[in-house]
Amino acid sequence: MAYSIKEIAELAGVTTRTLRYYDEIGLLSPAEVGDNGYRLYDHQSMLRLQQILYFRELDIPLKDIRHTLNQPNFDLLTALETHRLSLQGRAERITALIETLDQTIATLKGEWIMSEKDYFNGFDESQYEEEARQRWGGTPQYSESRRKLESYSKEKKEAIKQEGRRITERMVGKNADAKPDDADVQAAVGDYFTYLNKNFYTCDVEFLRNLSDMWVADPRFAVNYERIREGGAEFVRDAVQIYCDRQKD
């Protein structure tokens, strides 16, 4: 079944201007354009638009959404399952925040008495912790990572986070002419490999290789590299693949 731009806009709750812009930037093109110039959309167009709107709910920039959806290995079912986990976690956090808000209002009105720690229910830096548990909870890496993280002080956690950011910037390359097999990029990948093993979990080269594939496939990870340079996630993935291949030689 074909839909006009007005029909698909009404179905999705977006404006026709938005759809025209998505077409302009190569994010969502119509299935066909009639001789009269009318844009026509089909079922696949609807699924792609749904993906775009899911990614927007997760605050992913449009250029990163386009990059992800245009990947040859993009898997719709995997993406939907990932969205579900993310939105479920977000819904639980929002519910907790609303409850904290209601209790705070009631306390200020003299209708409720909150304990000091209750003022901060729902505020949690580890917003993806439940999703991580569901996806990797059965792996030894997850158990080891949780054990190590629980032993760290707040100051050490922050220092580890900053170290990770510095290494990530080096892995992405400092200039546009950088190549994945450059010596300094490969050295940064080696440092990141050591960083994971030292601070989180025992990681072999195959596990690192699989991680690099996920950094490209999942836009919430990819955006960390795309913010540094366009195509950053693929660049780092390629650099990691080269590093892992060399370790096997």
Domain ranges in the chain with CATH number 1.10.1660.10 = 3-57
E strands of 98-145, at which residues?
none
**Distance between start and end Cα atoms, the chain:** 54
**pLDDT score recorded for residue 127:** 47
Q: How confident is the model at residue 1 (pLDDT cuts 50, 70, 90)?
A: confident
Does domain 3-57 fall into CATH 1.10.1660.10? yes
Place of tokens 């080096």: 170
E strands of 121-168, at which residues?
none
d(CA 200, CA 222): 20
Per-residue model confidence as pLDDT tens digits over 39-57: 999 999 999 999 999 888 8
Per-residue model confidence as pLDDT tens digits over 204-215: 888 888 888 878
Per-residue model confidence as pLDDT tens digits over 59-115: 777 887 888 888 887 888 877 777 777 677 677 777 877 888 888 888 888 887 777
Cα Rg, the chain, nearest whole Å:
22
Per-residue model confidence as pLDDT tens digits over 166-192: 999 999 987 778 999 999 999 999 999
d(CA 10, CA 7): 5
pTM tops 0.75:
no
Q: Which residues contact 57 (CB under 8 A, 6 or more apart)?
A: 87
Q: What is the DSSP letter of 152?
A: S
Q: What CATH architecture is 76-248?
A: Orthogonal Bundle (1.10)
**pLDDT score recorded for residue 8:** 93
